[in-house]
Amino acid sequence: MTVHELLSRLDGVRRSSRGYVARCPAHPDRSPSLSIHEGQDGRILLYCFAGCAVQAVCASIGVEVKDLFAAGNYGEQKPHQMTFRHSDWESLAFRYRFHADGLWLRGQEVLKTLTGAKVTNWSSTDRDDAMEKAIRAYDDLERAELLDAVAFGIRQRGLKHERKRYASRQSAA
């Protein structure tokens, strides 16, 4: 599948600086929140800024995730082995942790605002909007937990690498 074939299945498509944006078909979307970009190797990269999974976006337009990949030998590639200099892993772990904290705070603030709200006088549209906000808040909390775990893993791996490097310097001396 080409990018243009995919774009023909979407609404509200327009060019952006890195590719295209469109209204996400996986959720009710008033303004474009789906980013579409073609990778250097021909893959079609999708990202919904509202948080929809790629699988949900693909299912809603009748394609499979595998259709986003050009015919290639992706399965035969060796997994990328990450190596970090000290400042790299520390900075990367900090960025993940900082983003996780932001998501957690935003999710907690939304839930705190919605807790105890008198919804009996609200219109059905207002209730639906509040439910969407609550769902996004819980999604933010889940993503925050995941990012926190990733940051912890990066930090542990970096520290392990530093200990090995220190031990090899001590044994060489």
* pLDDT of the residue at 102: 86
Spatial distance between the Cα atoms of 141 and 101, rounded to a whole number of angstroms? 9
Share of the chain above pLDDT 70, in %: 89
**Residue-wise pLDDT tens digits, 39-66:** 777 788 888 888 888 899 999 999 888 8
Quickly tell me which residue has 């090995």 as its tokens.
164
Spatial distance between the Cα atoms of 43 and 37, rounded to a whole number of angstroms? 8
* pLDDT of the residue at 77: 46
Rounded to two decimals, what is the model's pTM?
A: 0.44
Query: What does the mean pLDDT of the chain come to?
Result: 82
Q: Which two tokens stand for residue 88?
A: 């790299």
What value does the mean pLDDT take over residues 23-29? 89
3-state secondary structure 158-169: HHHHHHHHHHHH
Q: Is the pLDDT of residue 173 over 60?
A: yes
